[in-house]
Amino acid sequence: MLAVAAILAAVFLWGGSFSAMRVAVQALSPWSVMWLRMITATALLIPLAGKLIPTDYRKGDWKLLIPMVFFQPCLYFLLESYALRFTTSSQAGIISGALPLMVAFGASLVLSETIPRPAYIGLLVSLIGVACLTLLQGSAGAAANPLLGNALELCAMASAAANMIVLKRLCQRYNPWTLTAMQVFAGAIFFLPGLFLMVRAEESQWTPQLVLILLFLGSFVTLGAFGLYNWGMSHIPASRASAFINLVPVNAVFFGWVLLGETLTLPQCAAAFAVIGGVWLSQKSRTRLGVRSDVRVVD
């Protein structure tokens, strides 16, 4: 239950980050925003550096650690940033709903996780809900190159799925917060060009609202959400943890309605409930499977 609560908290924070990011990128370049997020999280981790130094490193672990930080945050955020330049947010949202299915199949092949059939049904229902939810949001303008943008977004989802599978394997020996620190530090180096773009920003852009938003994104979203999700995934199967990702668009629509005054229609509410119902079905089937397994062991 604590693991599920941690993942739900991470999803809640990620959902709120869309509204915050929308405001931030209007004042600064996406590279600058991402670098500020990473460097803020790195600064918060410095007092805990002594406790986050890996002590269980084994020869050859770099073969997993380097792909982990490369897939996310580096490659994932880079691909998604450019994807949104060529496609609409609605189409990107539809493709992002494929992430739990990618992780489920990958975890089944690589981690030998057992995925019950009702869980797949729940994931598909959730995916349909995400598609309806994003389509009902509409689009602010035509896509410049939807084929290229959608391909980049699909690659971003594949990168995130690969990261989750690799991270799940590393969590068997490494502290999840240590892995989070590695991701944050790698992201700060990767998005370093954002520092030079930030220097060119006009002073009038640095409003108190922008500073608070950047602090929220760096501390609560980049560090808090990633840390909570990594910790939660270290205690439950990767495929089960990834199912909660489909709740992110639901939270994003909710926060857009509350904070930015965006329209929340009845069909959107119905699609949101479909997403929640699909996630619930995928989790319920796994719980029953786990109970039956326990009974067999006792017998």
pLDDT-based confidence at 290, cuts 50/70/90? very low
Place of tokens 């992110």: 248
Average pLDDT estimate for 174-201: 91
pLDDT of residue 284: 64
Nearest to 213 by CA among 73, 13, 21, 9: 21
> Who wins on pLDDT, 30 or 114?
30
Nearest to 112 by CA among 104, 102, 120: 104
Nearest to 68 by CA among 225, 229, 186, 234: 186
What does the pLDDT look like over 41-77, one tens digit per residue?
999 999 988 888 887 788 888 899 999 999 999 999 8
pLDDT-based confidence at 35, cuts 50/70/90? very high
Query: From CA 67, how far away is CA 69, in angstroms rounded?
Result: 6
> Who wins on pLDDT, 177 or 109?
177
Mean pLDDT rounded to a whole number for the chain: 79
- Asked if the model's pLDDT at residue 137 lies above 50, the reply is yes
In terms of C-beta density within 10 A (0-12 exposed, 13-18 middle, 19 or more buried), how is residue 130 classed?
buried
- Asked if the model's pLDDT at residue 160 lies above 70, the reply is yes
pLDDT of residue 264: 60
- Asked if the model's pLDDT at residue 280 lies above 60, the reply is yes
Are 140 and 81 contacting, i.e. CB atoms less than 8 angstroms apart? no
Scored b (16 or more CB within 10 A) or e, 227-265 reads bbbbbbbbebbbbbbbbbbbbbbbbbbbbbeeeeebebe
Provide CB contacts within 8 A for 58, sequence distance 6+.
173
Q: What pTM value is reported for the model?
A: 0.75
Nearest to 48 by CA among 177, 207, 238: 177
- Asked if the model's pLDDT at residue 133 lies above 90, the reply is no
